[in-house]
Structure formats: C-alpha cells, structure tokens
Amino acid sequence: MNPKYPHPILAREGWPFIGVTFAVALLWTLFVGFGFVAAILWVLCVLVTQFFRDPAREVPAMADAVLSPVDGRIVKIEQSVNPTTGEDALMISVFMNIFNVHCQRSPVDGIVEDVQYHPGKFMNADLDKASTENERNAVTARLADGTRITFVQVAGLVARRILCYVQKGDELKKGQRYGFIRFGSRVDMYLPLTATPCVTIGEKVLGTETILAKLGPKA
C-alpha cells in the first residue's frame, strides 16, 4: 500500500464532505426535527459516503495482465497515439459515473517515468474530445522489460479536482492507490499495440480486479 494513501474503505479525500453532510443532517434533525428536509439531508449524506468508498481489492496473479485502474464502463477501444511518449498505442478508456468508486489504482508494476498535468475544460467525460480538451493528468510507467504504459486521469463535467500521489521515480505496484478524481470522470489507458484487449465496449469493470488487457511480446 502506498504510505501516502493509507485509507481503505473510505477515501481520505471524502472525509471533509462526509463530515459536513453528516453534521448538517444531524444538527437539523436534533434542532428542527425529522421531516422532509432532514430526510433529504440524510440521503445526501449517504450518497456522499458511497461516492467516497474505497474498498480493498484482490490483485490477479498474472504477470502479463494490465489491470483496470478504476471502476466504470469501457467506452473506447481503439488504436491511438500515446500523448506522453508519441508512440502508437492501444487506447482503452474507462468512464466513471458518480456511483462508481473513484479511487485510481496502478494497473501495472513499474517505475513512474513521467507525470504531466494539463489544465483544460470540464466537458462530459463520456465525450471523445474530453481526452484532449479536458483537464487531465498523465502518468507514464516503465515496466521491467522497458515497456511504457500511460494512464491518464481525465476530469469530467462536474469533476473539479484531480489528485495524484506519485511523482517521477516512484515505484508502483499493481493495485496500489495512486490518485483520485472528485465527482465523475474517466481514465484513458495507452498500451503497446502488441497488447490484447480482454474487455469489450460497454462492459462494466472493477478497479484492480478486472484485467483490461494482456501484454504481448515486444515487437
């Protein structure tokens, strides 16, 4: 586990939001009474709490597997260009709605070679142009055999905060928490063209537990 992020079950990013909504709901109930407004406040507290859940996950024991960095739905599988390395790549995009776990976990074992933040817009993360026009943060990891994989956190329509806890030179382990995006977003994966997808468009995936692709031999 990343020592900078030792908070399973509920993500630390959510503590202020959970605390505030809980306090408001409790105080309203105690001093005003339980009615329609109180019910709405308690429902809001529950929704905020579920958004920031951060459950432990089992890591598949497959050396050549690239894991999903997040929970969500596959919205794109196509040939593209890695925005950090400029290499031709297999792009797999995972879209997260507000009901998904929004913690990002490393899809591979490797060393962080580069981290690039790009300010931008906040369009619906389900749109194709969100990958190039929205606020985003790209992490490139180099595997033991020299393969480079980039995973990009992309902000969404209501997402206004991308958090990344790794920097150049850090070591990543599969399933390690490395970031968080608040309130709806997506993650774009850029893999070597020799990788074989293990998911299909529209499929729902779980962070760490779902295998997105298997790496093939280097060309």
Residues labelled catalytic: 185
Contact 152, 188 (CB under 8 A): yes
Alpha helices in the chain (DSSP H): 15-31, 36-51, 130-133
Our CA angle for 61, 62, 63, nearest 5°, is: 120
3-state SS assignment for residue 197: strand
Q: How many CA atoms lie within 13 A of 74 on its CB side?
A: 22
Q: How far apart are the first and last CA of the chain?
A: 33
